[in-house]
A and B are shown apart, each in its own frame.
Chain A
C-alpha cells in the first residue's frame, strides 16, 4: 500500500467548512491577545498573562469538577464561566495586592501561576473522563471550536477592540510612563483597571478555547516582534494585532499540514514570526543609520556636543574627536595650530603649576570635567574657549578656539 500523501494547503481549504471556526478563533484570539500583550511586555509583567491563563485553566477544570462531583447544573458551571471567574479573581487579587507587594510583583505572579497549574493537574485526577480536556487547557490541543464559542469570542474582540482603540493614547501613556501620566492627571487607576479587566476577559476566553500555552505565547511573542518593528508603542499595538492574528491562523494551518498539536504549532509560528521581525528590525535599523546618521547621532544645534567654528563651518566635539556632520555622516576633522582662532601663534603662552583658570590645584585628565579635544599629536582640554594642555605638573595654554554658543 503506497504511503499516505501529506496534507496540503489545497486539502485545508477544500475542508474549509470544517476548519473555518477554529482557524478564525485562533486569528481572533491572537489579534486580541497580541494587542493587549504590548502593554504587558512594556510594563515588564509577561508572567501576568501566564498566571491568568493558568488561573483560567483551573477555573475550567473546577467547572467540570463542580458538574461531576458537586452536582452543579451544567448550564451554570460551564467551562467559560469557570475560566472567567477564576481569571477575574486572579486579576483582582493581583491588582489589589500590588500595593502591598513592595516590588515583589514577580513573586506574586509566580504564586498565582503555580496554584493555577498545580490545581488544574490535581483536579484533573478527579475528573478522569475529562482528562483529554485538561490537556487541551494546558497545552492547547483543541481542534474544534463551537459556533457559540466563536461568536462569543468575536463579540469580545469587537468590544475590547473598540475600547482600546478609543483609549489607545491613555493606555500607552500609562504603560510607558506611569508617574508622568499621574502628574499629567490621566485617569491612571481607571486605565489600569480596564487593562487588567480586558486581560482577564481575553485570557479566560482564549484559555477556554485555545489553551494556556498559546494564550501565553500570543501575549508575549507578537508584542515582542511588534516592538522590534514599530517606531512607537501605539504603532506596536497595531503591528502586534496583525502578527498575533497571523500566528493564530497560520499556526492552525501548520498544525493541519504537519499534524502537530494546535497550541504548540501556534506558539512555534509566533516564534518564527518573532525571529523574522528581529531580522527585519536589524535591517530597518541599518537602513536608518545609513540614510540619516551613519554615526547613530546627528550633530547640530542643541545636540549636546560642544560646537566649535572650524574655518568656514562648525564641527562638534564628541569624545575628544572633532566631528563634522556632512551629507554622508560624520567626518573626523583635525585641529591644528593654524585653525585655532586668530591671534594664536602656537606657543606655550604660560607655564603655571596646575591649571590657572580652573579651580586651584586642578589637574586636567580623563574625567576632570573639561571636554577633551584632539589637537595635532596630543589631546588638550577646553576651558573657557581656550585649549589647555596638561604638561607634567603644569598647564600650558595652547591658545583659543571659537566655541559657538
Chain B
C-alpha cells in the first residue's frame, strides 16, 4: 500500500518555517518513504512518529540540512534552527558542565572574525537557562544530571540560539511517564511563549497526541506517510492499519488541536 496525504489546513496564516512539497527523503539518492508534503508554522507542535526504523530520523536530518533531499521541494525559511539530539549521542567521557553545553547553543554566528560571540550573547544564554528551569545547575557536570535534567540542558542549548524552529529527536527515551509528561509540558509552554515551531520524534502515542497539534506518521514497511492535524492522521488508513481502530479513536479524542 502506498499512502500519501497532504497536510490539513493549518491554524493560522503565519508564514511557514518549513515547507515540504512531495519531498522524498533517503540515502544515496534512494527514497526510503513516499513523498512528504507538509508545512510547519510558528506555535505548531508536530509529532513525528512511527515504528522503529521507519524513517523518522531521516526526515529530521533532511529538515536539519544534514541530509540532502532525494527529490521534491524543500524550503526552510526559519532564520535559525534549534536541534536537540538524542541524549545517547552525548559522549559522557567528554567533560562538560551545564553552562558549557548551553553556551554551545549560541555559537550559530561564530566565526574567526568574531570569536567573542558567546560573551556578547550571555543574555540569550540566561534566558534559555531560565526558560528550562536549570539556572541552579549551571556548574554541574553533565554526568551528574538525571535524564530529565539532561533533556532540559539540551533544550536550553537549542533555545540559546533563539531558534524559530526546534527539532527534537526522541527527547523522552528512557524516561518514566511523569518525566516524559513534564518534558512535553515544558515544550508546549515554550512553543507558545516563544512562538516556536516544533518537530519532535517520539514513541508514546498518548503523550504525543496530548500535546501535539499536528502529526507526521511514517511507516517504511507500509510505504506510508501521513501528515496533518493529529485527529486526521490517527484516523487515517495507514495509522489504523498499524495500530488498530481502538487506539485511533482513543487518541483522536485527546489531541491538542
Contact = CB atoms under 8 A, between A and B. Distances in A.
Interface of A: 42, 166-170, 173, 176-177, 179-187, 227, 230-234, 236, 288, 292-293, 296-298, 300-306, 369-371, 382
Contacts of B66: 179, 182-183
Interface string B158-199: 000100000000000001111100100000000000000000
A389 to B, nearest CB: 18
Contacts of A371: 176-178
B104 interface: yes
Interface string B96-117: 1100100011011111100101
B54 interface: no
28 contacts: A42-B91, A166-B115, A167-B112, A170-B115, A173-B107, A176-B104, A182-B65, A182-B66, A183-B64, A186-B110, A187-B111, A233-B94, A234-B100, A288-B141, A297-B144, A298-B137, A298-B140, A300-B136, A302-B134, A302-B152, A304-B182, A305-B148, A305-B179, A306-B178, A369-B177, A370-B177, A371-B177, A382-B178
B95 A233 contact: yes
B132 interface: yes
Given A180-B85, A232-B96, A185 B182 contact: no
A183 to B, nearest CB: 4
A173 B108 CA distance: 10
A303 B65 contact: no
A170 B146 CA distance: 28
B254 to A, nearest CB: 13
Contact of B147 (A293, A304, A382): A304
Given A177-B85, A183-B65, A169 B146 contact: no
Given A168-B115, A183-B65, A371-B178, A230 B148 contact: no
Contacts of A234: 100
A184 B66 CA distance: 11
Contacts of B122: none
Nearest to A38: B94
* Most B Cβ at <10 Å: residue of A184, A296, A370: A184
A180 B94 contact: no
Contacts of A298: 136-137, 140, 144
Contact of A296 (B109, B144, B178): B144
A199 B161 CA distance: 31
Contact of B104 (A42, A180, A230, A370): A180
Given A183-B83, A297-B146, A371-B178, A176 B65 contact: no
B58 interface: no
Contacts of A301: 133
B146 A236 contact: no
Contacts of A369: 176-177
B133 to A, nearest CB: 4
A173 B110 contact: yes
Nearest to A289: B144
Contacts of B176: 369-371
Contacts of A292: 140
A370 B177 CA distance: 6
B47 interface: no
- Which 10 residue pairs of A and B lie closest in terms of their CB atoms, listed nearest first? A304-B148, A302-B133, A304-B146, A232-B100, A183-B83, A184-B108, A306-B178, A304-B179, A183-B64, A232-B96
Nearest to B142: A232
Contacts of A288: 141
Contacts of A179: 66, 83, 85, 89
A236 B141 CA distance: 14
B149 interface: yes
A193 B141 CA distance: 31
B6 interface: no
B3 interface: no
A230 B95 contact: yes
B75 interface: no
Given A169-B115, A170-B115, A303-B148, 6 more contacts: A170-B107, A232-B96, A236-B95, A304-B145, A304-B175, A371-B177
A232 B177 contact: no
A176 B107 CA distance: 13
B118 interface: yes
B241 to A, nearest CB: 21
A382 B66 CA distance: 41
A183 B64 CA distance: 6
Nearest to B145: A297
A231 B142 CA distance: 10
B142 to A, nearest CB: 10
B40 interface: no
Contact of A227 (B95, B115, B147, B178): B95
A306 B179 CA distance: 7
A346 to B, nearest CB: 24
Given A183-B64, A184-B161, A166 B144 contact: no
B81 interface: yes
A162 to B, nearest CB: 11
A232 B115 contact: no
A236 B100 CA distance: 13
Contacts of A168: 115
B148 A302 contact: yes
A245 B50 CA distance: 53
A227 B109 CA distance: 27
Contacts of A169: 107, 110, 115, 117-118
Which interface residue of B96, B132, B136 has the most chain A CB atoms within 10 A?
B96
Which of A180, A182, A288, A301 has the most CB atoms of chain B within a 10 A radius of its CB?
A: A180
Residue among B95, B137, B145 with most chain A CB within 10 A: B95
A292 B136 CA distance: 12
